[in-house]
């Protein structure tokens, strides 16, 4: 039932996104604009893939609860994508987050409870920080409408407005998994059921990015304490992007568990998306800003597909082999050939190898900052992408060149293979024909800028 509902919801969201109408629902709280539609499509699409894969992965008497929580999470993410008011954004944030705390602890036979508790504590702190930022914003501007708050911060910069902006960065940063707000990610992703790790990495994380785009990208300077003109959002995002992509890749190289490796890799990918934020904040309204936001939206789409299918492939390995350590992937191509091929394509896409989809979005992000004062960030992104092949390529080598511990073939369930086929098709198809998706993302970015 949930699969059918999510599929129908995707068709409706696609219609609203391709043919946006200037309407508002619930007063000025929600508006179905194009950029919100893209994020809604991405999050609901990932939830749909998780629901389909869960039919084989999640079996037990608590299934109605499991799928109900997935439905509430999807609803929260859609409302968050379209939110135009800070209070609506916060309510949607909680509607998205609270069910995932329970879902992260759904498997009582593993470290799921520990993952759930850590995630819930950090998540509650994140929500408290956001709520405090909203209270400061309302006190300074007398409004909770996002556009009015942003214009108030820009027209009357103050130390308190800067503090509120930094609190928004911290609160959204927890969900976006950017350094130094990433500490919960590896433990939560490793302990949660792997299908739920897919949801966290490929869906709820994207909801954090749309919240940051709506609230933070239009604020160009934060004058937090020193009231220095050098203390701009572009500089803050640049430092966070460098730290996030570098720490994520370095930490991923040392992992012994596939889910932890994918978790740190997901942190690194958040750093690449922040490059688009840098380009936008550095010169709002310019061609570079449009290119940066287009690249960020494009990479959000690509990352959701690539990271989502990588986690689902890891979920199938855990389901069938009952192991999550990297030795389980030795010779995987001989035991689970479709799963190994899926992982290889996802890894190459995440590393930005042409002509897969990840290459094009990374190229747009690099080009958006290459010719300005943040050219060093473009170089850092290229070096980090090359460095990431150290563990992506190593895993592909283990799957295709190492000998497995057992030569016995392992069954790959049809529903998993169906999801793999769709998502691998998207990675290769978008890579070969990127222009329609680039145009789609560019249209949303330009509409948002206007």
Cα 69 from Cα 73, distance rounded (Å): 6
pLDDT for 226 beyond 60:
no
**What proportion of the chain, given as a percentage, has pLDDT over 70?**
95
The pLDDT-based confidence of 128 (bands split at 50, 70, 90) is very high
CB 442 within 8 A of CB 294: yes
pLDDT for 243 beyond 80:
yes
pTM (2 d.p.): 0.91
Give every CB contact of residue 59 below 8 A, 6+ residues apart in sequence. none
Q: What is the pLDDT of residue 323?
A: 82
CB 189 within 8 A of CB 264: no
pLDDT for 392 beyond 70:
yes
Q: What is the pLDDT of residue 158?
A: 81
The whole-angstrom distance between residue 193's C-alpha and the CA centroid of its chain comes to: 18
* Interval 51-70 mean pLDDT: 86
pLDDT digits (tens, 9 = 90+) for 309-335: 999 999 888 888 888 788 888 888 888
Average pLDDT, the chain: 87
Closest CA relative to residue 361, chosen from 269, 448, 238: 269
Q: What is the pLDDT of residue 425?
A: 94
Residue 405 lies in a domain: yes
Closest CA relative to residue 306, chosen from 201, 400, 415, 439: 201
pLDDT for 63 beyond 60:
yes
* Interval 416-420 mean pLDDT: 91
Residue 42 lies in a domain: no
Cα 165 from Cα 160, distance rounded (Å): 9
Residue 358 lies in a domain: yes
Cα 320 from Cα 149, distance rounded (Å): 51
CB 444 within 8 A of CB 362: no
Domain of residue 299 covers 232-450
Cα 323 from Cα 279, distance rounded (Å): 42
**What proportion of the chain, given as a percentage, has pLDDT over 90?**
38
The pLDDT-based confidence of 224 (bands split at 50, 70, 90) is low
Highest mean predicted confidence (pLDDT) among 158-167, 362-371, 401-410: 362-371
User: CB count, 10 Å around CB of 247?
Assistant: 18
pLDDT for 118 beyond 80:
yes
Q: What is the pLDDT of residue 403?
A: 83
Domain count of the fold of the chain = 1
The pLDDT-based confidence of 434 (bands split at 50, 70, 90) is very high
Q: What is the pLDDT of residue 184?
A: 81
Looking at 283-374, list the stretches that DSSP marks H as alpha helix, in order from N- to C-terminal side.
287-321, 332-335, 337-351, 357-370
The pLDDT-based confidence of 222 (bands split at 50, 70, 90) is low
- How many CA atoms does the CB half-sphere of 186 hold within 13 Å? 17
440-446 long-range contacts, CB within 8 A, separation 24+: 440/38, 441/38, 441/294, 441/295, 441/297, 441/298, 441/301, 442/290, 442/294, 443/34, 444/34, 444/35, 444/37, 444/38, 444/297, 445/35, 445/290, 445/293, 445/294, 445/297, 446/290
The pLDDT-based confidence of 407 (bands split at 50, 70, 90) is confident
Residue 3 lies in a domain: no
Residue 313 lies in a domain: yes
CB 314 within 8 A of CB 194: yes
The pLDDT-based confidence of 228 (bands split at 50, 70, 90) is low
pLDDT for 106 beyond 60:
yes
pLDDT digits (tens, 9 = 90+) for 338-354: 999 999 999 999 998 88
Closest CA relative to residue 26, chosen from 79, 102, 97, 74: 79
- How many CA atoms does the CB half-sphere of 319 hold within 13 Å? 23
List % helix, strand, coil for the chain (3-state, nearest 5).
75, 0, 20
* Interval 79-83 mean pLDDT: 90
pLDDT digits (tens, 9 = 90+) for 249-298: 999 888 888 888 998 999 999 999 999 999 988 877 788 888 999 999 99
pLDDT for 221 beyond 90:
no
Cα 371 from Cα 374, distance rounded (Å): 8
Residue 207 lies in a domain: no
Closest CA relative to residue 449, chosen from 13, 77, 35: 35
| CA max distance for the chain | 68
pLDDT digits (tens, 9 = 90+) for 177-208: 888 888 888 888 888 888 888 888 888 888 88
pLDDT for 115 beyond 80:
no
The pLDDT-based confidence of 408 (bands split at 50, 70, 90) is confident
């Amino acid at each position: 039932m949930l699969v059918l509902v999510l599929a129908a919801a995707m068709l409706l969201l696609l219609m609203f996104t391709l043919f946006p109408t200037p309407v508002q629902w619930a007063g000025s709280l929600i508006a179905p604009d194009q950029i919100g539609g893209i994020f809604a499509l991405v999050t609901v699409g990932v939830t749909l893939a998780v629901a389909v894969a869960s039919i084989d992965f999640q079996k037990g008497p608590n299934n109605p609860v499991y799928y109900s929580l997935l439905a509430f999470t999807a609803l929260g993410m859609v409302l968050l994508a379209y939110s135009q008011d800070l209070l609506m954004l916060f309510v949607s944030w909680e509607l998205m987050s609270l069910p995932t705390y329970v879902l992260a602890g759904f498997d009582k036979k593993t470290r799921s409870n520990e993952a759930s508790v850590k995630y819930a504590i950090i998540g509650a702190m994140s929500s408290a920080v956001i709520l405090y930022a909203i209270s400061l914003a309302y006190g300074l501007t007398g409004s909770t409408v996002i556009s009015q708050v942003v214009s108030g911060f820009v027209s009357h910069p103050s130390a308190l407005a800067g503090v509120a902006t930094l609190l928004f960065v911290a609160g959204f940063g927890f969900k976006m998994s950017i350094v130094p707000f990433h500490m919960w990610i590896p433990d939560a992703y490793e302990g949660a059921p792997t299908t739920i790790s897919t949801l966290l990495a490929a869906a709820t994380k994207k909801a954090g990015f749309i919240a940051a785009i709506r609230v933070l990208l239009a604020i160009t300077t934060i004058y937090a304490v020193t009231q220095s003109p050098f203390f701009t959002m572009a500089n803050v995002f640049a430092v966070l992007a460098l730290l996030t992509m570098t720490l994520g890749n370095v930490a991923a190289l040392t992992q012994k568990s596939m889910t932890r490796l994918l978790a740190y890799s997901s942190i690194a990918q958040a750093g690449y998306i922040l490059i688009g934020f840098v380009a936008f904040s550095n010169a709002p309204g310019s061609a570079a800003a449009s290119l940066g936001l287009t690249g960020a939206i494009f990479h959000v789409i690509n990352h959701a597909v690539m990271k989502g299918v990588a986690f689902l492939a890891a979920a199938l390995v855990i389901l069938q082999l009952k192991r999550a350590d990297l030795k389980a992937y030795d010779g995987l191509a001989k035991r689970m050939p479709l799963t190994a091929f899926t992982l290889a394509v996802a890894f190459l896409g995440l590393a930005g190898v042409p002509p897969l989809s990840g290459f094009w979005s990374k190229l747009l992000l690099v080009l958006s900052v290459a010719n300005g004062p943040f050219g060093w960030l473009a170089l850092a992104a290229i070096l980090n992408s090359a460095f990431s092949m150290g563990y992506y390529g190593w895993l592909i080598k283990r799957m295709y060149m190492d000998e497995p511990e057992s030569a016995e073939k392992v069954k790959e369930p049809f529903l998993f293979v169906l999801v793999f086929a769709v998502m691998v098709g998207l990675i290769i198809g978008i890579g070969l024909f990127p222009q329609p998706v680039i145009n789609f993302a560019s249209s949303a970015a330009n509409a948002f800028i206007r």
